[in-house]
A and B are shown apart, each in its own frame.
Chain A
Amino acid sequence: MSEATDLTGPTQQFINDMNSVGAAARADGPRILYHVVAVGGALSGQTVTTGVSVSEVQSWPMVPPHWIHLPDWVTFPETNMDDIDCKPGWKRHSRDFSYTDMSMPPALAWLRHVRGVISIAIPKAA
């Protein structure tokens, strides 16, 4: 795990901002992990650990991340994905983030986007 002193300003701010909207976040090597409770879909009610690449939050909060890290038992019907910066057994998934509403905190907008994506996930075992 990365030491707090290694984190850039934008990385630390992303972690702080996610914590402030209720998603406990921590640095984990080249990624930041946090927990999200799925509010709909096949995973509804489950706490899912997800994350983003540290390299994607270096212009936070002006530029949000894009790729969503998830364990590979979480899949989607149609998605671009790869395993850059991912933990072993994880994938990064791509979903358009059409965020233009500046009336909410950027971290809350990101969290809602991730929740929305997770709500259409298909557990592999299902």
Chain B
Amino acid sequence: MRYSVAMTGEVEAAMRDHLIRSDGQEDVLAATYVLSTGVERTTALIKSVMFPREGERHVHGNASFTGGYVLRASNEARAAGHGLILLHSHPGSRGWQLLSNMDWETESEYERVARGITKMPLLGMTLGGRDTSWSARFWFDRNAPTWVESVRSVSPKLAVTWNDDIRRIPRVTRSQQRTVSSWGERTQGSIARLRVLVVGGGSVGLDVAQRLAATGLATVGVMDYDAVETVNLDRMIGATHLDAALGRSKVDVAARLAKSAATAESFEIHRHEVSVTDPVGVSAALDYDVIFSCVDRPWPRAVLNALAYTDLIPVIDGGIALDTFTDGRMRNGIWRAHTLVPGRPCMACLGQLVIGDIPLDKQGLLDDPEYIAGAHREAPSRQNVAALSASVSAGLLAQFVSLTAHPGGRGVPAPLRHVLSTHTLEHSTATSGPYCAFENAATAGDTRTQIAEHREDWRAIVYERTTKKKPLRLRVLAAAEDFLLHAISRLK
């Protein structure tokens, strides 16, 4: 299991403002956390900050907690069902901070107090004041801490402090020279280590996955349970007639193309042949730092909309709508791109997710012609054009760059909407609704309301595909293709 910590930008600012003192001395602070548990990674989500009261800590160059402060914080954490975090600052230091003997002893001593009261392990955190870098470790016992891999501050700017010993900085390769010269080695070193999941392996998702791989990311995941069909080939650039004839899974095609586009010295592509509307899909998604939402149905989009806030995983979402006149000529096209993070409105607040359609999608009614006719609804429009779907992926990727590289010192913009007929780019003025059930569930972690449900339908589709025997002619062609791809991959 890997470990990490995530917090909102608002919580980070509150903790930083307390821990970085104007007199340059160290300070201490207590906070609480809940867990967000994926398949391979467990994340502590910082819930609340408990500032010290008068006399609860000593500031004397090296700051220290009083037992009363730790007991109060532990009891308040237990009452809320949270775990305890003890934080301290190293004002003159930069980068990932290790523990001095004194800090080790302090945290080791309080480990038993915290665990005894909260029934959860103590989390220790240190702030390096020179560059606002956070480091963290769990104390599962009092002997030695278990260091986390990264600490993420999530707001319109995603800021990650990496533990270089656990997640090493990928070496810059020759094929990345122009990328690195665009934003520098430090930014490349951070972006390349992000684990990014693309949900939906269609026209947009396939493009996004390849470009992330070409940017130098070391780990990309693709999630889709569907297969390539001939009708997809006008938009899935890189998918072949052989893919369609074999009925290859979209994740296999995405994996092949991403591998071939990858510039990292060591590239991992994770194939998730599952649905994000099922708990197994949600668990897999919780292992990632950023998610691209390249799906268009209400239910999966609702699941992703929730994860952006409940588990502090930025979700980059968008889509395209093409409109035609009655005679079939094009009237207009609109594509959108927005990033869902605390501090930016969710899909529902943006009007990009009709909440009332989610139960219909869950119950399969949006695919039921009889229901559609009875409800006097229009069937969902299916128009799409490869020449324009590239605009959606470009919009999503620009959001990713703003989120992670902060060009001009700024993070993601307000939600963007491009209108093709008038050639205008609009910045949405939508704000978060005070009763938004998604945003109000921020940092719920494992106590999140479940939108995903165990279903057999997608499992049956995957099972049928994987067990279906393909004609000999197609199997021979596939073997020849594999041989060629393997040979090409050995070229450096």
Name A's B-contacting residues (CB within 8 A). Answer: 9-10, 56, 58-66, 78-80, 94, 96-106, 113
Contacts and interface: CB of A to CB of B under 8 A. Distances in A.
B355 A63 contact: yes
Contact of A101 (B433, B438, B451): B433
Q: Which 5 pairs, one residue from A and one from B, show the smallest C-beta to C-beta distance?
A: A102-B433, A97-B356, A66-B359, A80-B374, A61-B437
Contact of A99 (B355, B362, B375): B355
Given A100-B354, A103-B433, A106-B435, A66 B349 contact: no
Given A62-B302, A106-B437, A100 B449 contact: no
Given A66-B363, A102-B434, A102-B435, A58 B450 contact: yes
B364 to A, nearest CB: 12
Interface of B: 302, 306, 348-349, 351, 354-356, 358-360, 362-363, 365, 371, 374-377, 432-438, 441, 449-451
A85 B365 CA distance: 17
Contacts of A59: 358, 449-451
27 contacts: A10-B449, A58-B450, A59-B449, A62-B437, A62-B438, A62-B441, A63-B359, A63-B362, A64-B355, A65-B359, A66-B356, A66-B363, A79-B374, A80-B374, A94-B365, A94-B371, A94-B375, A96-B356, A96-B375, A98-B354, A98-B356, A100-B351, A100-B354, A102-B433, A103-B433, A103-B434, A105-B435
Contacts of A64: 355-356, 358-359
B434 A63 contact: no
Nearest to B432: A102
Contacts of A56: 359
Given A59-B449, A63-B302, A102-B435, 14 more contacts: A62-B302, A62-B451, A63-B355, A63-B451, A64-B359, A65-B359, A80-B375, A94-B371, A96-B356, A97-B356, A98-B356, A102-B348, A102-B434, A103-B433
Contact of A102 (B356, B371, B374, B436): B436
Contacts of A100: 348, 351, 354-355
A83 to B, nearest CB: 15
Contacts of A10: 449
Contacts of B432: 102
A48 B441 CA distance: 33
Contacts of B434: 102-103
Q: Residue among A10, A65, A79, A80 with the most chain B CB within 10 A?
A: A80
A85 B306 CA distance: 28
B224 to A, nearest CB: 22
Nearest to B310: A62
Contacts of A80: 371, 374-375
A60 to B, nearest CB: 7
Contacts of B306: 62
A58 B451 CA distance: 8
A104 B432 CA distance: 12
Nearest to B440: A61
A19 to B, nearest CB: 16
A33 to B, nearest CB: 19
Contacts of A94: 365, 371, 374-375
Contacts of B354: 98-100
A113 B354 CA distance: 14
Q: Residue among B355, B362, B437, B441 with the most chain A CB within 10 A?
A: B355
B350 to A, nearest CB: 9
Nearest to A79: B374
Contacts of A60: 449
Nearest to B355: A99
A102 B376 CA distance: 26
Nearest to B438: A62
B297 to A, nearest CB: 14
Contacts of B375: 80, 94, 96
Q: Residue among A65, A66, A106 with the most chain B CB within 10 A?
A: A66
Nearest to A94: B375
A101 to B, nearest CB: 7
Nearest to A108: B435
A94 B306 CA distance: 25
A104 B435 contact: yes
Nearest to A110: B356
Given A59-B449, A59-B450, A60-B449, A99 B356 contact: yes
A103 B351 CA distance: 12
A9 B365 CA distance: 26
B357 to A, nearest CB: 8
A65 B349 CA distance: 19
Nearest to B434: A103
B434 to A, nearest CB: 6
Contacts of A101: 433
B371 to A, nearest CB: 6
Given A59-B449, A62-B306, A62-B441, A96 B435 contact: no
Contacts of A113: 356
Contacts of B377: 96
B308 to A, nearest CB: 12
A66 B377 CA distance: 15
